[in-house]
Structure 1
Amino acid sequence: MKRFSTIFYTICLISTLVSCISEYESEPRNVISEDYIWSDPTTLNAEYFISSIYATLPGGGNRLNGVALDCATDDAVPSDDGSGTWSVIRSGYSSTSTFDDKWATSYAGIRKANIFLANYQRVAWLDPLKKKWFPAEARFIRAIHYFELVKRYGGIPLIGDKVLTLTDDLNFPRNSVSECFQYLVSECDAIKDSLRTDPIPSTFFGRVGKAAALTLKTKVLLLAASPLYNTTNDLSKWKAAADAAKEVIDLGAYTLEANRYTLATARVNNENIFIRQGGSNANGYVYEVSPVGYRPGNTASAGRISPTQELVDAFGMKNGKAITEVGSGYDATNPYANRDPRLDQTIFYNGQTWLRRAVETFEGGQDKPNSTSIAVQTKTGYYSKKLLANDANSTTYSTVNGAWTIFRYADVLLMYAEALNEYAGPGAASTTTTADGKTINGVYDAVQAIRNRAGLVPYALANGLTQTQMRDIIRNERRVEFAFEEQRFWDIRRWKTAESVYGTTLHGVKITKNTAGKFMYEKIDVTTPFFASYMYVFPIDNAEILKNSKLIQNEGY
Structure 2
Amino acid sequence: MNKAYCFIAACLLIGAVSCKKQSFLDAVVITDLNEQTVFADSARTMDFLANIYNGVDFSFSSRRFNANDSRTGMSAACDEAEGPANLSDNTYLQFVNGTVDPSTIKDDVYKTSYQYVRAVNQLLRHVDTAKFSQSQRNRVKGEAIFLRGWYYFLLLKHYGGVPIVGDTLYERNQPISTKRATFEQTVNYIVSQCDQAKQLLSREYGQLDFGRVTVGACQALKARVLLYAASPLFNDDGTIPGNNTPVDLMAGDNKALVGYYPKPTHEQAKERWRLAMTAADSVMKMKMYSLNTGTTPGAGFYQTFTNKLSRELIFWRTVSGQQVEEDWSPPTRRGLPNMQGTYPYQELVDAFPMKNGKAITETGSGYDPANPYANRDPRLNYTVCRNLTRKALYVGSALTIAPVLIYFSSPTIDRVGLGTSTGYYVNKMLRDSTDANNLFSYGERAYPLIRYAEVLLNYAEAKNEVDGPGTQVLEQLKEIRKRAGIDVGDGNYGLKPNMNKEEMRAAIQHERRIELAFEEHRFWDVRRWKIAPQTENKLMSGMQAQLQADGTNTYQRFSVRQHTFNPKTYLWAFPQHEISKPGGLVQNPGY
TM-score bracket for this pair, using the shorter chain length: 0.7 to 0.9
Aligned to 2:162, what secondary structure does the other structure show?
Answer: coil
Q: Equivalent residues in 2 for 1:452-471 (5 A)?
A: 452-458=482-488, 459=493, 461-471=495-505
Return the letter of the residue paired with 1:137. Answer: E
After TM superposition, give the deviation of residue 80 of structure 1 in Å: 3.0
Matched, 1:406 2:441: no
Decide whether the 8 Å contact of 1:287 with 1:303 is kept in 2.
no
In 2, the alpha carbon distance for the partners of 1:167 and 1:308 equals 42
Q: 1:350 to 1:158 in 2, by over 3 A?
A: same
Aligned to 1:351, what secondary structure does the other structure show?
Answer: coil
Deviates more, 1:161-170 or 1:231-240: 161-170
Q: Equivalent residues in 2 for 1:472-551 (5 A)?
A: 472-551=506-585
Q: Equivalent residues in 2 for 1:19-418 (5 A)?
A: 30=32, 32-40=33-41, 43-59=42-58, 60-65=61-66, 66-82=71-87, 84-85=89-90, 87-88=93-94, 89-90=96-97, 92-99=99-106, 101-125=108-132, 127-165=133-171, 170-198=176-204, 200-232=205-237, 234-258=269-293, 259-279=300-320, 281=321, 283-294=322-333, 304-355=341-392, 356-366=401-411, 376-391=418-433, 398-399=441-442, 401-418=444-461
2:12 aligned partner: none
Return the letter of the residue paired with 2:144. Answer: A
Q: 1:369 to 1:156 in 2, by over 3 A?
A: closer
Decide whether the 8 Å contact of 2:333 with 2:437 is kept in 1.
no
In 2, the alpha carbon distance for the partners of 1:295 and 1:95 equals 36
Aligned to 1:51, what secondary structure does the other structure show?
Answer: helix
Q: 1:492 to 1:163 in 2, by over 3 A?
A: same
After TM superposition, give the deviation of residue 546 of structure 1 in Å: 1.6
In 2, the alpha carbon distance for the partners of 1:284 and 1:394 equals 8
Return the letter of the residue paired with 1:288. Answer: D
- 1:291-320 CA-to-partner distances (Å, cap 9, x unmatched) read 234459xx9797722110100000000001
In 2, the alpha carbon distance for the partners of 1:497 and 1:354 equals 36
Decide whether the 8 Å contact of 1:274 with 1:407 is kept in 2.
yes
After TM superposition, give the deviation of residue 90 of structure 1 in Å: 3.4
Structure 1 portions without partners, runs of 5+: 17-29, 430-441
After TM superposition, give the deviation of residue 96 of structure 1 in Å: 0.4
In 1, the alpha carbon distance for the partners of 2:200 and 2:338 equals 45
Return the letter of the residue paired with 1:450. Answer: I
In 2, the alpha carbon distance for the partners of 1:396 and 1:338 equals 31
TM-score computed with the length of structure 1 as normaliser: 0.87
Q: 1:495 to 1:390 in 2, by over 3 A?
A: same
Decide whether the 8 Å contact of 1:261 with 1:390 is kept in 2.
no
After TM superposition, give the deviation of residue 402 of structure 1 in Å: 4.0
Q: 1:128 to 1:488 in 2, by over 3 A?
A: same
TM-score computed with the length of structure 2 as normaliser: 0.82
Return the letter of the residue paired with 1:140. Answer: F
Decide whether the 8 Å contact of 1:172 with 1:550 is kept in 2.
no
1:423 aligned partner: 466
Q: 1:3 to 1:82 in 2, by over 3 A?
A: closer
Decide whether the 8 Å contact of 2:460 with 2:476 is kept in 1.
yes
After TM superposition, give the deviation of residue 166 of structure 1 in Å: 7.5
In 2, the alpha carbon distance for the partners of 1:87 and 1:491 equals 18
Return the letter of the residue paired with 1:70. Answer: S
1:436 aligned partner: none
After TM superposition, give the deviation of residue 68 of structure 1 in Å: 2.5
After TM superposition, give the deviation of residue 69 of structure 1 in Å: 1.4
Structure 2 portions without partners, runs of 5+: 1-17, 238-265, 294-299, 393-400
Decide whether the 8 Å contact of 2:407 with 2:415 is kept in 1.
no
Decide whether the 8 Å contact of 1:289 with 1:303 is kept in 2.
no
Aligned to 2:560, what secondary structure does the other structure show?
Answer: strand
In 1, the alpha carbon distance for the partners of 2:36 and 2:106 equals 39
Identical pairs, percent: 34
Deviates more, 1:1-10 or 1:200-209: 1-10
In 2, the alpha carbon distance for the partners of 1:379 and 1:394 equals 20
2:259 aligned partner: none
Decide whether the 8 Å contact of 2:113 with 2:152 is kept in 1.
yes
- 1:234-280 CA-to-partner distances (Å, cap 9, x unmatched) read 1111111111000001000010111122223211211111112322x
In 1, the alpha carbon distance for the partners of 2:536 and 2:351 equals 14
Return the letter of the residue paired with 1:289. Answer: W
After TM superposition, give the deviation of residue 525 of structure 1 in Å: 1.0
Q: 1:57 to 1:548 in 2, by over 3 A?
A: farther
After TM superposition, give the deviation of residue 325 of structure 1 in Å: 0.8
- 1:152-181 CA-to-partner distances (Å, cap 9, x unmatched) read 001100111111237988422100001111
Decide whether the 8 Å contact of 1:154 with 1:177 is kept in 2.
yes
In 1, the alpha carbon distance for the partners of 2:371 and 2:566 equals 37
In 1, the alpha carbon distance for the partners of 2:553 and 2:173 equals 69
- 1:114-162 CA-to-partner distances (Å, cap 9, x unmatched) read 111111111232x221111111110100000000000000110011111
- 1:386-438 CA-to-partner distances (Å, cap 9, x unmatched) read 111234999969425343221111110010011111111111x6xxxxxxxxx
In 2, the alpha carbon distance for the partners of 1:61 and 1:349 equals 19
1:438 aligned partner: none
Q: 1:301 to 1:265 in 2, by over 3 A?
A: farther
Q: 1:370 to 1:393 in 2, by over 3 A?
A: closer
Aligned to 2:305, what secondary structure does the other structure show?
Answer: helix
Return the letter of the residue paired with 1:116. Answer: L
Decide whether the 8 Å contact of 1:114 with 1:162 is kept in 2.
yes
In 2, the alpha carbon distance for the partners of 1:52 and 1:358 equals 41
In 1, the alpha carbon distance for the partners of 2:28 and 2:445 equals 21
Return the letter of the residue paired with 1:320. Answer: G
Return the letter of the residue paired with 1:221. Answer: L
Decide whether the 8 Å contact of 1:79 with 1:377 is kept in 2.
no
Q: 1:359 to 1:314 in 2, by over 3 A?
A: same
Match of 1:449 among 479, 493, 518: 479
Aligned to 2:572, what secondary structure does the other structure show?
Answer: coil
Q: 1:461 to 1:529 in 2, by over 3 A?
A: closer
